[in-house]
Structure 1
Amino acid sequence: MNLKMQEAVLHLNKYDSSSKSAQDAQKLLNALKDTYDVVGFQFRHYKGGLYKVIGEAIHTETEEKLVIYEDHDGVLWARPKEMFFGKVIIDGKEIKRFTKID
């Protein structure tokens, strides 16, 4: 968990965990936590493009989790989280849509 996430957890822990707003905030924090482990990392799309993960967002209407990422021109993109971390079938072979570059 990165520093900002740790700060958010500490801040949240100061409030009454039984309140609706604290419960909503905790739910959001938990939903975002796993994507923040890859924020700032480069990924290669299966077609060859390089992208940097910026963070995660939650769609306001559907509450679907979206990964926000940036291309080399600075254009921001959003893709459903399941799709970003999912797989595609190319020439009958299943491969990752995006592969993290170490």
Structure 2
Amino acid sequence: MNSYMQEAVKHLNKYDSSSKSAQDAQKLLNALKDTYEVVGCRFRHYKGGLYKVIGEVIHTETEEKLVTYEDQDGVLWEGPKDTFFGKVIVDGKEIKRFTKIN
């Protein structure tokens, strides 16, 4: 667990775990955990581009989880989490859309 996640857990532990707010926060923390483990890591897109994961956001209306990432020119991109961590078919072979390189 990275330092951001540790800090969030420490903050969350200050609240009564039976409260609705604490339960909602715990649910959100669990949902975001896997992305935050790769914040700051670099990924190679299957077409060759290099990107750094910035974090994860939740769409305000649909609550869809989106990954925010930055290309080599500093342009920020955002896409569905399922798509970012998903797979594509290339030449009849299933491969990761983004592959972690560090």
Tell me by how many angstroms 1:63 deviates.
1.3
Q: Does residue 1:75 correspond to 2:75, yes or no?
A: yes
When normalised by structure 1's length, the TM-score is 0.95
Q: Does residue 1:65 correspond to 2:72, yes or no?
A: no
Q: Would you identify which runs of 4 or more consecutive aligned residues in structure 1 move more than 6 Å?
A: none
When normalised by structure 2's length, the TM-score is 0.95
Q: Which residue of 2 aligns with 1:90?
A: 90
**Cα RMSD over matched residues?**
0.9
Tell me by how many angstroms 1:7 deviates.
1.1
Task: Specify every segment of 5 or more residues in structure 1 that has no aligned partner in the other structure, as ranges.
Answer: none
Tell me by how many angstroms 1:2 deviates.
0.9
Task: Specify every segment of 5 or more residues in structure 2 that has no aligned partner in the other structure, as ranges.
Answer: none
Task: Tell me the number of residue pairs that the alignment of Structure 1 and Structure 2 aligns.
Answer: 102
Identity rate, percent: 85
